[in-house]
């Protein structure tokens, strides 16, 4: 994967360089007992029963990779750079069929703590200029894993739309 700057919109877009767009697992890698199928756990919260309640792992396959530098360079009408960043999966519950809306307030608080912990850690990396948490639900939204989860992405640029929104807010707050 690499990032290319659209010369018309001036926004960065991710360009697939032929890597597989998805990864299929024989069993759900986020259900208890299958943890070895998913990448190494980056963060976890363990409940009082001796099992995990929330886990964070790298995404397979990631849109952005933590290794390396952006190596920004010009190529014809495009600027391009490596898709350096972080792309993580927050597994919100060990239960494959429990959605976020069905979790207790205590369990939702643990998911929020996972976000805070990961964002705090990712902010330490000077290569990242923007971090977002998002959640897809259903295949039509691009969800690629069935187990209830959200994702965190840290990227080396601020998306154009966010810049527009911040500038609009600044103009409105001066009135």
Give the Cα-Cα-Cα angle 118, 33, 153 (nearest 5 degrees).
Answer: 25
What is the per-residue DSSP string for the chain?
-EEEE-TTT--EEEE--S--S----SS-TTSTT-GGGSPPPSEEEE-TTSSEEEEEEE-SS-SSBSSS----EEETTEEEEE-BSEEEEEE--S-TT--GGGS-HHHHHHHHHHHHHHHHHHTT-TT--EEEEE---SGGGT----SSEEEEEEESS--HHHHHHHHHHHHHHT-
Look up the pTM and report it: 0.82
Residue 111 CB: number of other CB atoms within 10 A? Answer: 22
β-bridge mates for residue 54, sequence order: 45
What pLDDT was estimated at residue 77? 82
What pLDDT was estimated at residue 87? 93
Where are the chain's structural domains? 2-173
Cα dihedral across residues 92, 138, 157, 87: positive or negative: positive
Look at the chain and count its residues: 175
What pLDDT was estimated at residue 154? 95
Asked if residue 29 lies in contact with residue 38, where contact means CB atoms within 8 angstroms, the answer is yes
What pLDDT was estimated at residue 150? 93
What pLDDT was estimated at residue 76? 82
Q: What is the pLDDT along the chain (175 residues), one digit of tens a residue?
A: 788 888 888 888 877 766 555 556 677 888 888 777 677 899 999 887 878 899 999 988 788 888 878 788 888 888 887 888 999 999 999 998 888 889 999 999 999 999 999 999 999 999 999 999 998 776 666 666 778 899 999 999 899 889 889 889 888 877 6
- Whether the ω angle into residue 78 lies within 30 degrees of 0, i.e. cis, is no
CATH of span 2-173: 3.30.428.10
């Amino acid at each position: 994967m690499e990032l290319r700057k659209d010369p018309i919109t001036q926004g960065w877009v991710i360009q697939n360089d032929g890597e597989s767009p998805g990864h299929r697992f024989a069993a759900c890698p986020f259900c208890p007992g299958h943890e070895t199928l998913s990448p190494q756990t980056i963060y976890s919260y363990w409940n009082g029963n001796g099992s995990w309640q929330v886990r964070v792992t790298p995404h397979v396959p990631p849109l952005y990779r933590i290794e390396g530098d952006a190596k920004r360079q010009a190529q014809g009408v495009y600027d391009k750079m490596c898709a350096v960043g972080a792309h993580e999966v927050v597994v919100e519950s060990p239960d494959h069929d429990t959605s976020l809306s069905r979790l207790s307030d205590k369990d939702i608080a643990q998911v929020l703590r996972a976000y805070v912990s990961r964002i705090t850690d990712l902010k330490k990396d000077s290569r990242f200029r923007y971090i977002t948490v998002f959640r897809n639900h259903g295949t039509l939204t691009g969800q690629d894993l069935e187990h209830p989860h959200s994702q965190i992405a840290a990227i080396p640029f601020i998306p154009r739309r966010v810049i527009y929104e911040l500038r609009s807010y600044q103009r409105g707050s001066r009135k």
